């Protein structure tokens, strides 16, 4: 079964705490960090996989560090 389907299996509006859901920004950060880790820290390679420029990743990481 698809991992996303396993995670959401059985989830309904009645049995989930909406205040505990992650934001889209949180998912984006976690995904970008995962791809960078899988690329052994190589931002250029990660940016190619993510189809964004390396400067986009550097800019996002900089804003995360300031938060």
Domain segments of the chain: what residues? 23-67
Q: How far apart are CA 19 and CA 39, in angstroms?
A: 33
pLDDT by 10-residue block (mean), the chain, 67 residues:
56 74 92 97 98 98 89
The pTM score is 0.73
Q: Which long-range contacts (CB under 8 A, 24 or more apart) does 57-64 make?
A: 57/32, 60/28, 60/29, 60/32, 61/32, 64/29
Tell me the CATH architecture of domain 23-67.
Orthogonal Bundle (1.10)
State whether residue 47 is helix, strand or coil.
helix
- Shortest CA distance to 49 belongs to which of 62, 64, 63, 32? 32
């Amino acid at each position: 079964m698809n991992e996303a389907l396993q995670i959401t299996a059985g989830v309904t509006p009645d049995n989930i705490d909406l205040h505990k859901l992650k934001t889209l920004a949180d998912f984006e950060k976690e995904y970008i960090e995962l791809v960078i880790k899988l690329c052994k820290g190589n931002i250029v390679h990660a940016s190619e996989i993510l189809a964004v420029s390396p400067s986009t990743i550097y800019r996002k990481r900089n804003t995360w560090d300031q938060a």
